[in-house]
Structure 1
């Protein structure tokens, strides 16, 4: 009666040290996994949405280094939110509207994380008007202390706004709305404990804007409509999408459960695969929290990927155990045989997955690096959950007799479908397949030339075009002369030298150059103010709207250029307002600015790029562009080296890697066709697609090789491979694609884009492994030289 619990001596002799260590101590393995699962589940429950402005930008890029070095000298040019308060009926010169604007200004002032010194609206004392009179310059606050909402004070307000130069900036061109400009602090004193610094919670801040500003004041004054844009609002909306991600995860779980049961016809093994894969997800989330990471809008998709990879390996294990159960004495024997046969292929496939993720670490953007680390942790966890825990669990619960009987029947009966697919390895079909693959490769390579780096749309491409954020952004673009896309060129001089003619003349020339660059709306600098003041001092004559060579006049003329030079007059920002932040616009504008800087930089005068949200986008695009090809090369190089070490054959390596290359090329062509740019949200898909896709090729080739060494001709060996492993590969590809394709319906566009790309890559990698791998093997593999030889792959026993 004890025989079922132990293998006979013959099997023990074949068992590796690792196998004996695991299966001779199964209760200990189960107990350790339970203890670790409980601890990491507790850790996982504490993980929270978390992101920061600095994690979203390439900190080592020269643009960002310059921006951070001079951040204290750049007022309101970093992380800001803009609230536009629209008068639905009438214009802003209305008592009720102005009172609502004042209340919103006061409410925003006290929100945690707001840089109160830099807050700007019509109610801010720093927003002033000026004019030239017979007695010289006069001016004051746009809303004076005498304002009381009366018709006379509203008329005065209208005059002050027209004289302030804020039309098109803080006030809409049609006078139907005005803006509150809100600079944010990344860290600030905790309201509950002022001695402690706390980080800005973007989700919480976004909710406060909705609840305390938009909902509250639109309900209070029906004549007011509020529009909100800015990095913090965009990220808050993305984090809110976590709820939808959880819903899609649940849908994917149900779909996978149904398909797994249809595949196995065994409820026990279905539940075992799902539980061990969910354990992997829990471990991954728990470990992420343990090392100090949270969930940001990009890494929140990692649990999906870990679930997909876990299911992929789980299906292979269950399929192997079902095949072994047909002639094994018991479930333990079948589990041990399957472990012995599939642990190394599974390990190599998981290492290939990890390599794909680890290569993302070369990108100097915090969110991508955290995604890479989180995903690498996840695939490492799968080694324990799906390669070790799952076979041990199945050795206890076993496979149902119905599933075993079905497996026995499959092992002896002829399969027309697999027989049909085995023709891919035939001498007649293989050349046609290679020809079609070459045509697809050439066509994909040609069309992928249309692939762009960066954003291709206005607003926030991460969100749907009809999302509230993008509708608000469209309102801002349509009603104000200065867009929310600002590139800042920093003009650096010696102290007290920003106002001399030798500095201001090149700044004036820079503004002229940028104004005449396609994609630029307008430019502003201290030169703009200086010319206006000099014109004003000369009775408003347009012919005096130029720079004086008199240093006293220049010094006096910039006195009112608040925020356009720093305290010691050593840095003067030039604000370049752009039509949009599309990749082409940013590339064209930054190229013009770089060319100007190269031509005009000298000792004591430097033109430094770049700050502002458009400068950050431009830096990010440059990092993505330089890393894209490097990542592809590294991924394929690492995967190829691992396949070469595994199978000890260049031919085998080419058979596995070339279908992945075709998938990458066609994936780029699909992105170009769908209008999806290569950016922070989509670049990881390249590495993820290759990492996950290589699993199919490794599993198929490892079985094909074993049949070839048994002396079978290629087509027959491939037929046997399909009967044993092809079924699992086909099922896994379809199952994962169906689960991931649910993302396509997400309200978050970048998640939908990733869902579309991953669905395509999972299906095409599966198809490539089933279709192209045997065709390549027909030309690259020499079956007659492999027959009867025990060497070759490290999987040979």
Structure 2
């Protein structure tokens, strides 16, 4: 079948090339118009309990797209006409930002922050600084005192040193465009920021806005990586076909993948460009292997008019199986990610599987078809010959495989596998460091986050809901309010939680106000009747929407909001465990607790999904890979043999991630899954060439020597080129891309070393039957041709 396919493609090379060219041109239009953006809702595991709670209450108690803006001064305090005017300017300006929820803008200059006053004339509430600014020093002094008297403002919205104030704003999730929100808020900040007043801004729209802000830089890095790949291939292969055909294969696969995904309605996520580069590297690798094999076959074929066509047919036939097995393995391992309930990973899986599948056309078929038109080449395009150095590396691998040192190689490999596997168990799920792992610690966003956390309770929020739908007024009950109060005190013991707020904090303030401001009475009422009366008074003096942060419209559900100083995986797991511990130990007679909303809530959901599926996903990917190898080579031993480079490369890479504090998150899972397929690709070429040489009667030693000097040369060249080009990503302003580029380089390096130094030794020692037992069934292509010549 393989020989028939190869003969057909070369015999019908004109229509095959024309069809590929036509489809490439057609798909180019769709590829150029693919949408590049981040959709936050795609990151949510919609079936998870926490996400259901978040989606149900986000418009009332606050969503995951909340932005926090801090205005701060180094000298004096914020109670200054200039500073207060800037607070008001930002507050009013936020109303004009795209997709903003106007009812979720909270600051000193909004109607939401109020003071409750009681006198013989009655009870009244009035905004602290709305609609007008304080007119003079007297009113500013009165505003300062009102803030200091109000524990719901002093601390949560005005820092304890009075040198900073917060403005929080939430957005409508389904309408938010991160790039547009980032640009509009940045423009608003520039209007008010000066030498005296500093502005800090954090939140999911700002974070992902920074990602899109760096998109031009990312595209430059892609261009630099391609240029370096071009230069390295030119230096090492010394032929134009060895440079241009691999790059053409990568370009065609990218055009096909992006065009097809645009037709399927899938957008391109900026953060997954690392995955795209990783897949494109496979196209380059497959194409280089075919070019190398083409050059090898030219040396064994007598010169004639059909020389190039015959060499191209042999290269296609001989490398079709390892090339297709590599493509299928990469696609199958990536497809496992689709089992995750996170839409972003499911869409990314479709993109990756389509992209990997296009390598069948762009590299495995197109490269030999184009080679068939090349006249028999003579000489090289430059005089720098690095092949002796490359052959020296391959000869070292050959010595390791054929000498007694091969046993040392196997033993050391086992020890490395056990050691790295043990250390890899320390790999954390979720963010492993404070701040956002997407950006470097010194990035503006992370510095702003640290500054706000230093002055206030915390940037990131989680809300827990207590109550029950249909039970109007349940939150007013003494049991519910007391449970909220105990829950807050219990959770605030955790150091990473800076503070909390709920309706149970508001009622005591009103109780104190009614008692002439006596701080002794700043507590919940002793009975349900007292608390119910206080809640009723509070509602009577509030405007519609004032209580939305704390209770829903019928007081059937109330929220407790926790402020977090970081969102590391360990912090979130500890918090969720403590929440569940409290709920189990404090059952409610009426109503129930609902977990958990806000950015921390949905991050906890994503972490739990990844934690639950991480081991299963890796195990399933390995199982799929083993089944594919077993079916292709019709041997269970083949399935186990090809696990060797995969397990070595993955355990070492996971150990490196654990050592460097790179957590397993929604962004790293796809790279890890693709790495499983990546770990075996190089081994396919080396093992398949050994099998081919044994089939035509070569000795085991000769077969390994030929394989390393032929397929091994392609592995060494592509690995060297791709490792250097991926290391360029270390210059990225996005820490995630830099670290993933480093991980790609490590995966490529370990995979190549395993294929060149470990696999030949293992094959030579254990002599698997699927390689050494089938001499009577010669493989098609080059081996068969040379046997006939002999």
TM-score normalised by length of structure 2: 0.92
Instruction: State the SS of the aligned residue for 2:462.
Output: strand
Equivalent residue number for residue 295 of structure 1: 268
Equivalent residue number for residue 8 of structure 1: none
Equivalent residue number for residue 530 of structure 2: 553
TM-score normalised by length of structure 1: 0.91
**1:322, 1:403 within 8 Å by CA — same for their partners in 2?**
no
Aligned pair partner of 2:624 in 626, 638, 646: 638
Q: Which has the higher mean CA deviation after the structures are superposed, 601-610 or 665-674? A: 601-610
Once the two structures are superposed, what CA deviation does each residue of 1:353-392 show, in whole Å capped at 9, x if it has no partner?
A: 1112111112222332222221111111111111111111
**2:691, 2:771 within 8 Å by CA — same for their partners in 1?**
no
Aligned pair partner of 2:190 in 204, 212, 215: 215
Aligned pair partner of 1:492 in 461, 467, 484: 467
Once the two structures are superposed, what CA deviation does each residue of 1:109-154 show, in whole Å capped at 9, x if it has no partner?
A: 1111111122111111121012455766554110155645322221
User: For residues 17 and 101 of structure 2, what CA distance do their matches in structure 1 show?
Assistant: 53
User: For residues 446 and 614 of structure 2, what CA distance do their matches in structure 1 show?
Assistant: 28
Tell me the CA shift for residue 337 of structure 1: 1.2
Once the two structures are superposed, what CA deviation does each residue of 1:142-196 show, in whole Å capped at 9, x if it has no partner?
A: 0155645322221222122223331222222222222221111124xxxxxxxxx
User: For residues 349 and 319 of structure 1, what CA distance do their matches in structure 2 show?
Assistant: 17
**2:318, 2:780 within 8 Å by CA — same for their partners in 1?**
no
Equivalent residue number for residue 629 of structure 1: 615
**2:54, 2:596 within 8 Å by CA — same for their partners in 1?**
yes
Tell me the CA shift for residue 228 of structure 1: 0.8
Is 1:380 matched up with 2:357? yes
Is 1:155 matched up with 2:155? no
Alpha carbons of 1:336 and 1:90: their partners in 2 closer, same or farther (altered >3 Å)? same
Is 1:325 matched up with 2:298? yes
Alpha carbons of 1:488 and 1:410: their partners in 2 closer, same or farther (altered >3 Å)? closer
**2:433, 2:661 within 8 Å by CA — same for their partners in 1?**
no
Aligned pair partner of 1:230 in 203, 206, 213: 203
User: For residues 675 and 439 of structure 1, what CA distance do their matches in structure 2 show?
Assistant: 23
Equivalent residue runs for 1:639-654 within 5 Å: 639-654=625-640
User: For residues 696 and 214 of structure 2, what CA distance do their matches in structure 1 show?
Assistant: 53
User: For residues 715 and 81 of structure 1, what CA distance do their matches in structure 2 show?
Assistant: 66
User: For residues 177 and 542 of structure 1, what CA distance do their matches in structure 2 show?
Assistant: 25
Instruction: State the SS of the aligned residue for 2:678.
Output: helix
Equivalent residue number for residue 774 of structure 1: 760
Equivalent residue number for residue 395 of structure 1: 372
Q: Which has the higher mean CA deviation after the structures are superposed, 489-498 or 633-642? A: 489-498
Aligned pair partner of 1:203 in 169, 179, 183: 179
Alpha carbons of 1:146 and 1:357: their partners in 2 closer, same or farther (altered >3 Å)? closer
Is 1:181 matched up with 2:154? no
Alpha carbons of 1:125 and 1:546: their partners in 2 closer, same or farther (altered >3 Å)? closer
**2:394, 2:756 within 8 Å by CA — same for their partners in 1?**
no
Alpha carbons of 1:155 and 1:540: their partners in 2 closer, same or farther (altered >3 Å)? closer
Tell me the CA shift for residue 518 of structure 1: 4.2
Is 1:612 matched up with 2:588? no
**2:633, 2:770 within 8 Å by CA — same for their partners in 1?**
no
Equivalent residue number for residue 42 of structure 1: 29
**1:80, 1:181 within 8 Å by CA — same for their partners in 2?**
yes
User: For residues 647 and 389 of structure 1, what CA distance do their matches in structure 2 show?
Assistant: 25
Aligned pair partner of 2:397 in 411, 421, 426: 421
**2:421, 2:652 within 8 Å by CA — same for their partners in 1?**
yes
Q: Which has the higher mean CA deviation after the structures are superposed, 752-761 or 86-95? A: 86-95
Is 1:17 matched up with 2:7? no
Tell me the CA shift for residue 540 of structure 1: 4.5
Equivalent residue runs for 1:466-485 within 5 Å: 466-480=442-456, 482-485=457-460
User: For residues 417 and 115 of structure 1, what CA distance do their matches in structure 2 show?
Assistant: 62
Equivalent residue number for residue 316 of structure 1: 289
**2:68, 2:202 within 8 Å by CA — same for their partners in 1?**
yes
**1:299, 1:367 within 8 Å by CA — same for their partners in 2?**
no
Tell me the CA shift for residue 435 of structure 1: 1.3
Alpha carbons of 1:733 and 1:510: their partners in 2 closer, same or farther (altered >3 Å)? same
**2:58, 2:598 within 8 Å by CA — same for their partners in 1?**
no
**1:276, 1:385 within 8 Å by CA — same for their partners in 2?**
yes
Equivalent residue number for residue 241 of structure 1: 214
User: For residues 148 and 498 of structure 1, what CA distance do their matches in structure 2 show?
Assistant: 36
**1:454, 1:582 within 8 Å by CA — same for their partners in 2?**
yes
Equivalent residue runs for 1:398-797 within 5 Å: 398=375, 400-402=377-379, 417-426=393-402, 428-480=404-456, 482-493=457-468, 494-558=471-535, 559=538, 562=547, 563-601=549-587, 604-782=590-768, 786=772, 789-791=775-777
Is 1:55 matched up with 2:42? yes
Equivalent residue number for residue 543 of structure 2: none
User: For residues 228 and 672 of structure 1, what CA distance do their matches in structure 2 show?
Assistant: 30
Tell me the CA shift for residue 517 of structure 1: 3.4
**Count of residues in Structure 1 that have an aligned counterpart in Structure 2:** 765
Tell me the CA shift for residue 53 of structure 1: 1.8
Alpha carbons of 1:696 and 1:20: their partners in 2 closer, same or farther (altered >3 Å)? same
User: For residues 526 and 375 of structure 2, what CA distance do their matches in structure 1 show?
Assistant: 91
Structure 1 segments unaligned to the other structure (5+ residues): 1-13, 188-198
**1:129, 1:140 within 8 Å by CA — same for their partners in 2?**
yes
Instruction: State the SS of the aligned residue for 2:640.
Output: helix
**1:423, 1:715 within 8 Å by CA — same for their partners in 2?**
no
Q: Which has the higher mean CA deviation after the structures are superposed, 461-470 or 545-554? A: 545-554
Tell me the CA shift for residue 761 of structure 1: 0.8
User: For residues 430 and 247 of structure 2, what CA distance do their matches in structure 1 show?
Assistant: 38
User: For residues 531 and 284 of structure 1, what CA distance do their matches in structure 2 show?
Assistant: 60
Tell me the CA shift for residue 416 of structure 1: 5.5
Instruction: State the SS of the aligned residue for 2:201.
Output: strand
User: For residues 393 and 739 of structure 2, what CA distance do their matches in structure 1 show?
Assistant: 33
Alpha carbons of 1:410 and 1:296: their partners in 2 closer, same or farther (altered >3 Å)? closer
Instruction: State the SS of the aligned residue for 2:594.
Output: strand
Higher relative contact order (CA 8 A, sep 6+): 2
User: For residues 265 and 129 of structure 2, what CA distance do their matches in structure 1 show?
Assistant: 48
Tell me the CA shift for residue 222 of structure 1: 3.8
Q: Which has the higher mean CA deviation after the structures are superposed, 469-478 or 23-32? A: 23-32
User: For residues 144 and 66 of structure 1, what CA distance do their matches in structure 2 show?
Assistant: 33
Tell me the CA shift for residue 466 of structure 1: 0.6
Q: Which has the higher mean CA deviation after the structures are superposed, 135-144 or 154-163? A: 135-144
Q: Which has the higher mean CA deviation after the structures are superposed, 131-140 or 664-673? A: 131-140
**2:724, 2:745 within 8 Å by CA — same for their partners in 1?**
yes
Tell me the CA shift for residue 549 of structure 1: 4.6
Alpha carbons of 1:783 and 1:676: their partners in 2 closer, same or farther (altered >3 Å)? same
Equivalent residue number for residue 542 of structure 2: none
**2:491, 2:497 within 8 Å by CA — same for their partners in 1?**
yes
Tell me the CA shift for residue 29 of structure 1: 1.6
Is 1:71 matched up with 2:58? yes
**1:648, 1:793 within 8 Å by CA — same for their partners in 2?**
no
Instruction: State the SS of the aligned residue for 1:295.
Output: coil
Tell me the CA shift for residue 339 of structure 1: 0.9
Equivalent residue number for residue 251 of structure 1: 224
Instruction: State the SS of the aligned residue for 2:97.
Output: coil
**1:710, 1:788 within 8 Å by CA — same for their partners in 2?**
no
**2:626, 2:643 within 8 Å by CA — same for their partners in 1?**
yes
Alpha carbons of 1:100 and 1:397: their partners in 2 closer, same or farther (altered >3 Å)? same
Equivalent residue number for residue 191 of structure 1: none
Once the two structures are superposed, what CA deviation does each residue of 1:538-563 show, in whole Å capped at 9, x if it has no partner?
A: 44455544433543421232326822
Structure 2 segments unaligned to the other structure (5+ residues): 540-545, 785-790
